[in-house]
Amino acid sequence: MELLKNNVKKRIDFLGEEISVLLKEHPDCSLGEVKLKQVLGGMRGLTALVCNTSFVDPYQGLFISNYAIPEFEDKLPEEIFYLLCAGKFPDEFELEELKEEFRLRAELPHYMWSFIRNLPAGMHPMTMFSMCILAMEGLSVFKRKYAAGEISKSEFWEYTLEDALNLLAKLPTIAAAIYRIHLLHEEAIAYNPSLDLGGNLANMLGVNPRISCAELMRLYLVLHCDHEGGNVSAFTSRVVNSALSNLYYAASAGLNGLAGPLHGLANQVCLKFIHTIHEHFGESPSTNQLSEFVKEELNVGRVIPGYGHAVLRVTDPRFTSFMEFGNRHCPNTPYLQTVKKLYHVVPDILKSYKGGKVANPYPNVDAISGTLLYHYGITHFDFYTVMFGISRTFGFCAQSIIALGLNQPIIRPKSVTNKWLKDYLEKTE
């Protein structure tokens, strides 16, 4: 992996140089005030982290390096991992080297097969996925080298990159095995070294038709890979890794955050939501029926899954990208039709809900992604967040590789009590 390593090193050196200049020239510069409502409100909008793998603009959505979604949505997941880590797309040789690295590292250790088969029936697939990653923690090269005192701080990122390649190469096989063994009750399909990550995922899930499904898998892995540093899963993963817990611990922790219904589980909840609508009104609900259904959900205190965002203030461009895919491949599928109708109904309702309190009434990525998986025969809703998780682990890995390369310290902000707040405000106001 010499080419990849050199390119990541160049990226780290470049970013490190920028940080040195910033710190030298503006060490005490304030980046804005911290408001009480932010400290008590999930730190929303607080600039408190640096993440150089990707950036989310509230009005334009995800950027990886300087590329917006239309500029990278047709790339391979392998190319996106390169972009996240090295800040540039790989050339032909660099891409081939990375693909070969993934091929060489794809095989699961033997014990993992009995581990997967013996996971308790009925356990949520996200729990299984996270446990599988933890179960491979003993493979961490970083951990071994660190414990033996064989690596210096400046080399931490290199062994974390090694762990990243070992881990990411195995995720499609693990996810597909969970799907086939525990949800379909069928045998796993073997990894095919002649296929890329997306092609292999489609193939090992055993869905048909495999060619356009492989296209969806690639898009799926590309669009979910990273969403800057402050989202629950990426932040959790980075915090865990900042204690020098290895990437297996960090990825598993991040996935446990992704498993929440306000975060990645929303894709499962969304499809269930649409399914329930179809059970009530048939496969072609009217806008009036949808409007009544959505209002009733809000009345009983539920959130509308797939709508809203902590950073975005427009329709998520990942939603738009999936919609374009759906319009090309399955425009008439009833679920997609209902997603479109909801798009015309929900924002207006949310705009006037709770006196205009909803910061973003528009759909996020989870409002549509499950619809496309369903179309390709992946009909077990509770597998959808695992699909998100395979992709997001690319981002977890890249963020930690870069952060360690930049020598970022353990993350440990200060917390205070109500008493501290009251005393502080008494003194200052």
Active site residues: 263, 309, 366
Residue 338 binding partner per list ligand NMX, ligand MLT, none, with a CB distance cut-off of 5 to 8 Å that depends on partner kind: none
Q: How far is the CB of 233 from ligand MLT (least distance, A)?
A: 6
H or E element that contains 57: strand 54-57
Q: How far is the CB of 312 from ligand MLT (least distance, A)?
A: 7
308 lines the binding site for ligand NMX (CB under 6 A): yes
309 lines the binding site for ligand NMX (CB under 6 A): yes
- Strand 67-68 and strand 54-57: the pairing is unpaired
Quick one: which of 354, 255, 359, 346 has its CA closest to 304? 346
306 lines the binding site for ligand NMX (CB under 6 A): yes
Q: How far is the CB of 376 from ligand MLT (least distance, A)?
A: 21
Q: How far is the CB of 62 from ligand MLT (least distance, A)?
A: 8
**Tokens matching residue 377:** 């025969």
Could you write out the DSSP letters of every residue in 105-156?
H-PPPHHHHHHHHTSPTT--HHHHHHHHHHHTGGG-HHHHHHHTT---GGGH
Q: How far is the CB of 311 from ligand NMX (least distance, A)?
A: 8
303 lines the binding site for ligand NMX (CB under 6 A): yes
The letter for the amino acid at 70 is P
Beta bridge partner(s), residue 56: 62
Among 191, 220, 307, 381, binds ligand NMX (CB under 6 A): 307
Residue 308 binding partner per list ligand NMX, ligand MLT, none, with a CB distance cut-off of 5 to 8 Å that depends on partner kind: ligand NMX
Could you write out the DSSP letters of every residue in 236-284?
HHHHHHHTT--HHHHHHHHHHHHTSTTTTTHHHHHHHHHHHHHHHH-SS
Neighbours of 405 (CB within 10 A): 24
Residues 354-373 that bind ligand NMX (CB under 6 A): 354, 357-360, 364-366
Residue 45: Cβ-neighbour burial (10 angstroms; 0-12, 13-18, 19+) = middle
Among 170, 180, 227, 341, binds ligand MLT (CB under 6 A): 227
CB 32 within 8 A of CB 129: no
- Strand 54-57 and strand 61-64: the pairing is antiparallel
H or E element that contains 68: strand 67-68
**Between 160 and 231, CB nearer to ligand MLT:** 231
**Between 195 and 304, CB nearer to ligand NMX:** 304
Residues 265-324 that bind ligand MLT (CB under 6 A): 309-311
Among 76, 126, 310, 390, binds ligand NMX (CB under 6 A): 310
Residues 339-378 that bind ligand MLT (CB under 6 A): 364
Binding residues for ligand NMX, per CB under 6 A?
A: 44, 262-264, 266, 303-310, 354, 357-360, 364-366
